[in-house]
Amino acid sequence: MTQALIVIDVQNDFCPGGALAVTDGDAIIPGINALMQEVPCVVLTQDWHPADHSSFASEHPGAAAYDLTEMPYGPQVLWPDHCVQGSTGADFHAALHTDPADLIIRKGFRRAIDSYSAFFENDKTTPTGLEGYLRARGITDLVLVGLATDFCVAYSAQDAARLGFDVTVRLDLCRGIDLNGSLEAALGAMRAAGVRLV
């Protein structure tokens, strides 16, 4: 009873046809749904941005999507507008089973700071509350799946390992963006952090 499944951002905007679509992002959903039946605790994360979020390229005159900018908390990729609060794009994909979820964590709702990780905002200090929930449930082992491998999954996995959880990432149930080699870099960073990649 000490294991939890963390399902990262399986939302319309990250699936084919979405504003920030990950190739084959919806192909992982049947496997995730099946895995939910095998673990005692399921947590879903949901990107949940205000319409004027500072990570959107549209908020930076002259900038283009996927440009890199400097924020007070460090380098930040500028993204197409995505997962805007209350929008269809922010909804979980219709094929994803949400009923088994014990908890839904919304992240990225503070305008001034992006949040890739399920555990911390991108300043790496502002917590989402997920760690406290898992500790209160007696959870020690985490299995991570979802979108995208090289951003939200990788950041979540590294933070979880740093916090002392036993972390496995199911690569077959993740898909990556691979922005300028970001996928290989993320895999290396996860391995270095002690994350098991299977």
Residues annotated as catalytic are: 9, 107, 152
Helices (H) and strands (E) in the chain, counts: 4, 8
One-character DSSP codes across 14-49:
GSTTSTTPPTTGGGGHHHHHHHHTT-SEEEEEEE-B
Residue 10 identity (one-letter amino acid): V
Residue type, 8: I
Q: Report the 3 state secondary structure along 126-163.
A: CECCHHHHHHHCCCCEEEEEEECHHHHHHHHHHHHHHC
Cis peptide before 148 (omega within 30 of 0): yes
153 with 39: CB under 8 angstroms?
no
Encoded tokens for 21: 């679509």
